[in-house]
Amino acid sequence: MSIELKDSVLVFVDILGFKGLLESEEHSQNLFSVIKNIKKQNTSTSDIQYTQRSDGISSTTIMKGMPAITSFSDCIVSSIPIEDIKEPFDIGNAVNDLLQFIQWLADSLMFGGYILRGGMTRGDLYHEDGVIFGKPLIEAYELESIKAKTPRILISDELAKQYNESKSSNCNFLSKDDIDDEYYLDYLKFSFQRSENRERYKKTTAEIIEKRKKDISEKVNSGDLSQLEEDIKILGKWVHFENYVAKALSVYGEK
């Protein structure tokens, strides 16, 4: 039996601090609700047309239904075959199609108090009926688990080059990190087109960081140091994310 692999763009996403979050019944229920709702995002089979806007320029894409989505515990994978981009046929539109899903997922997690990290790449892939197989999955996983380190969606060098050269580059949602020069998918640029999201991200991030600082202080004062290293590690990721939000607000927020 031969496997039909399709040239696809894939994103692998991990929910940060998942193990510690499951120790809380409230967090467990909230996370389960978000992850369960992912399935609902993958039920459309009709053609979808949407318009993206960036810096006053719009771009319209027609695609065959939703991207394929598979979730397992704190890992979520979504992909779209290049051939499913009906109009116009462009690699940039395939990346931006997945951005729709990433933005929904990031917003859903963020407003529950959770952040994500991931990797995006392109290659020959099988992704149907919950089964996923192919080299792009490994590459995206390695981008997330080895290179990303902070809460961001890294994109492979080759895919970043193709995206920047694509016809849809007028709606470019890539940014380059000032520290390591890695390209990442700037989903806040997309999300912050809605003013209510800008305020919610800023407020929620500040509240969560303050709460985590308070929790760490209380644990230290009580002598409970069992999870101190992990707590400080997660706090550091939130501080990094707060800097990302502040940078995005300075660029994309209201002047």
- Domain range summary for the chain, segments of one domain joined by +: 6-191, 194-255
pLDDT tens per residue, range 4-36: 899 999 999 998 877 666 666 776 777 777 777
Angle made by CA atoms 172, 177, 178, in degrees to the nearest 5: 125
- Residue 230: pLDDT band (50, 70, 90) is confident
Please name every residue paired with 7 in a beta bridge, in sequence order, or none if there are none: 124
Question: For the segment 64-74, what is each residue's pLDDT rounded down to a tens digit?
Answer: 456 888 888 78
How much is the pLDDT for 215? 81
* pLDDT of 60 higher than 50: no
In this prediction, residue 193 carries a pLDDT of 78
pLDDT at 87 over 80: no
pLDDT digits (tens, 9 = 90+) for 152-170: 999 999 999 998 888 665 5
Give one word for 121, left, alpha or beta, with left for phi > 0 and alpha for psi -120 to 50. Answer: beta
Model confidence pTM above 0.85: no
User: CA-to-CA distance for 98 and 107, rounded, in angstroms?
Assistant: 14
At 63 the pLDDT is 41
Q: Residue 194: what pLDDT? A: 79
Nearest to 96 by CA among 62, 126, 71, 128: 62
Q: Are 132 and 79 in contact (CB under 8 A)?
A: yes
Q: Can you tell me the distance from the alpha carbon of 36 to that of 28, in angstroms, rounded to the nearest whole number?
A: 12
C-alpha distances in Å from residue 174, one per residue of 63, 110, 180, 188: 21, 20, 15, 11
| 77 and 10 Cβ atoms separated by less than 8 Å | yes
Select the CATH number that applies to the domain covering 6-191 from these four: 3.40.50.300, 1.20.1560.10, 3.30.70.1230, 1.20.210.10: 3.30.70.1230
pLDDT given for residue 140 in this prediction = 96
Amino acid residing at 141 = Y
CB 79 within 8 A of CB 10: yes
pLDDT at 130: 80
Average pLDDT, the chain: 79
